[in-house]
Amino acid sequence: MEESNLMPEDKNSIESTSDINKDTKREDNIEQFTEFLEQANKKEKEEDRANSDLKSEVIENHDNSLFKRILNDGFDGITSNPNYKMLALLIILLLNLSLFFVIGNIGKAFLRKTGIM
């Protein structure tokens, strides 16, 4: 009977050491995994910061584009005041219309002199 009692104790001691080894391996694995996750989060944060810096640089460069300058400074380049913009556009249109009539009258006079009209 003594031998039978000794054998289960030996098995229990072996099982308990294997359980302890498994627990320590699990803890080590958990620690390694958490360290890996922390490093991955740090890398993602650094990449996000770098990407946001690049985006802000692109946006700042985009502010200097022709479209932004037209929106900020106005179509005529004089001002961003809508009333002055409208006045400048009206003057430009009147100049174009008067040139159209002047060239049209010159053309009509030329055609009359040549006898075509």
Separation CA 73–CA 84 (nearest Å): 11
Within this chain, do residues 92 and 48 fall inside the same structural domain, yes or no?
Answer: no
Does residue 69 lie within any of the structural domains? no
Q: How confident is the model at residue 114 (pLDDT cuts 50, 70, 90)?
A: very high
Number of domains making up the chain: 2
Task: Please list, in sequence order, all residues whose beta carbon lies within 8 angstroms of the beta carbon of residue 98, skipping any fewer than 6 positions away.
Answer: none
Domain that holds residue 7: 1-64
**Residue 44 falls inside a structural domain:** yes
For residue 70, being part of any structural domain is answered with no
Give residue-wise pLDDT tens across range 12-26.
Answer: 556 667 777 777 888
Token match 């289960």: residue? 8
Task: Tell me, yes or no, whether 47 and 103 share the same domain.
Answer: no
- Based on the fold, state whether residues 28 and 80 are members of the same structural domain: no
Q: Is residue 71 part of a domain?
A: no
Kindly indicate the confidence band of residue 46, based on its pLDDT and cuts at 50, 70 and 90: confident
Mean pLDDT across the stretch 88-103?
Answer: 93
